[in-house]
Amino acid sequence: MSGANPGLGYDATPPFSAPLRFFLTAPLFGIAAGLLLIVDGGLLASRWTPGTLALVHLLAVGFLLQIMLGALIQILPVVAGITLTAPLRTARLTHIGLNLGAIGLTAGFQFGRPSLLLGGATFLGLGVTGFLCSAALAAIRAPKTRMASHTPRDLRLALGGLTVALLLGLSLVLELGLGRGAPLPLAVAVNLHATWALLDWAGLLLAATSWVVVPMFQITPAYPARLTRYWAPTVTVLLAAWSVALVANVTTLAATMSVCLIGAATGFAVITLRQQARSRRSTPDASFRAFRLAMLALAAGAALLAFPHPSDADHWPVLAGILILHGGFGGATSAMLYKIVPFLAWLHLTQAGIKAPNVKKLLPDVRARTQLRVHAAALATLLAAGLAPPLGPVAGIMLIVEFVFLQLNLVHVVRKWRAHLPRAGLSVTPA
């Protein structure tokens, strides 16, 4: 028999080069973030300095968004039955828009140039909108089949979160560049944008992916059914209620919703840690340990936001941002990359009828382990710099080492993959 895979589109698996271009470009933005910390050493003194905004967007857009969109091009057809009609063209256009956008946006923040900010936002907006439209069209055309997991629904919710975060971000750039943004106090607009981007986009995407990837690669039991069923819709509803309360200045409701959202984020991290503790894996590998560190960082970052601080010093939100952005999402993303990229290289070789080497040969665990130790050291140094901003250049050096190492590891996999391709098929970007 055949056709036993209802709604799943492996026949339409996009070429490896479609996600790969995102994965190979992303570490360059991490390196740029390190350079920025060296050049502008004291920028971690506050979340509001232009340098901090540039740094955050280098990591959030240049690194995280880049990898997340690249991964989605691969994941959507496989787990959600959403097959982009032209995955390679979508990948090319999104990649160009996102990279020009990330460069323009960060340069605009760093140098205080509204024209760069507006230009960057335009490219980023076009790139992400193109991706969203392509995904939405594919979702409408996708066969309506019942899926066993909630991942497809949660991926759709995450894409909705990305849309809201993008619109809020564009409004902020219009306000900063032309004074024509949404009629909201700047701090409110920034908090809305950051929370939708981190929680309803990145958070939902991380959770939706974890429902599948954590049991599969970390050999854990499945997540509790009630968690996977209700977590993402609950977060979206709470976030919408929090946003309305914030805009309407209903402070009690906003504070209550805020505590609920922090609880939901912490709950996801804690349950993931519990799942990992129940893994049947005899020896945790590098990716497993990195994912555990990422969950601890997410929970710690959420705790920093939740509890009253002993002072009103500027460093508390900076520390929370470092823990969530670099420690949580950055760590989880790197951990997943180390599973996904060698697996995809292996899968594409095998599906092409080529005898593929073992994934451990495509990327030896020792390489990933060493890089992820540098990631942990970079996180510690960043936190130290959050408390003592003059340490910024040291943290910058650590970030550069971390991302250069990541880049080298990814290139190692690609070289191994290419070495096994027949000579006529050496092109990384098949037409």
Residue ranges binding another protein (CB under 8 A): 1-2, 4-5, 8, 10-11, 78, 215-217, 219, 222, 280-281, 343, 346-347, 350-351, 353, 358-359
Euclidean distance between CA atoms 299 and 315, whole angstroms = 18
Is the separation of the CB atoms in 271 and 227 below 8 Å?
yes
> Rounded to the nearest whole angstrom, what is the least distance from the CB of residue 87 to another protein in the complex?
17
Q: Which residues contact 249 (CB under 8 A, 6 or more apart)?
A: none
Q: Which residues contact 135 (CB under 8 A, 6 or more apart)?
A: 72, 76, 82, 84, 159
Rg, C-alpha atoms of the chain:
21
> Rounded to the nearest whole angstrom, what is the least distance from the CB of residue 285 to another protein in the complex?
9
Burial of 133 (0-12, 13-18, 19+ CB in 10 A): exposed
Nearer Cβ to another protein (38/147): 147
Residues 53, 47, 308: CA angle, nearest 5 degrees: 150
Nearer Cβ to another protein (85/350): 350
Taking alpha carbons only, the member of 104, 109, 142, 137 closest to residue 123 is 104
> Rounded to the nearest whole angstrom, what is the least distance from the CB of residue 4 to another protein in the complex?
5
At 221, list the tokens: 């039991």
> Rounded to the nearest whole angstrom, what is the least distance from the CB of residue 204 to another protein in the complex?
22
Residues 210, 216, 222: CA angle, nearest 5 degrees: 70
Nearer Cβ to another protein (317/357): 357
Nearer Cβ to another protein (47/420): 420
Nearer Cβ to another protein (49/228): 228
Euclidean distance between CA atoms 84 and 95, whole angstroms = 15
Burial of 358 (0-12, 13-18, 19+ CB in 10 A): exposed
> Rounded to the nearest whole angstrom, what is the least distance from the CB of residue 53 to another protein in the complex?
39
> Rounded to the nearest whole angstrom, what is the least distance from the CB of residue 358 to another protein in the complex?
8
Euclidean distance between CA atoms 204 and 366, whole angstroms = 31
> Rounded to the nearest whole angstrom, what is the least distance from the CB of residue 410 to another protein in the complex?
18
Nearer Cβ to another protein (13/370): 13
> Rounded to the nearest whole angstrom, what is the least distance from the CB of residue 274 to another protein in the complex?
19
Is the separation of the CB atoms in 236 and 200 below 8 Å?
yes
Nearer Cβ to another protein (5/85): 5
Around Cβ 1, how many Cβ atoms within 10 Å? 3
Nearer Cβ to another protein (100/222): 222
Residue 424 DSSP one-character state: G
> Rounded to the nearest whole angstrom, what is the least distance from the CB of residue 386 to another protein in the complex?
36
Nearer Cβ to another protein (50/284): 284
SS3 158: helix
> Rounded to the nearest whole angstrom, what is the least distance from the CB of residue 369 to another protein in the complex?
16
Nearer Cβ to another protein (165/349): 349
Is the separation of the CB atoms in 275 and 269 below 8 Å?
no
Euclidean distance between CA atoms 249 and 185, whole angstroms = 11
> Rounded to the nearest whole angstrom, what is the least distance from the CB of residue 10 to another protein in the complex?
5
Chain-centre distance for alpha carbon 51: 21
Euclidean distance between CA atoms 95 and 100, whole angstroms = 9
Kindly list the distances between the CA atom of residue 226 and the CA atoms of 149, 299, 401, in Å, as whole numbers in the listed order: 12, 20, 41
Euclidean distance between CA atoms 168 and 170, whole angstroms = 6
Nearer Cβ to another protein (252/358): 358
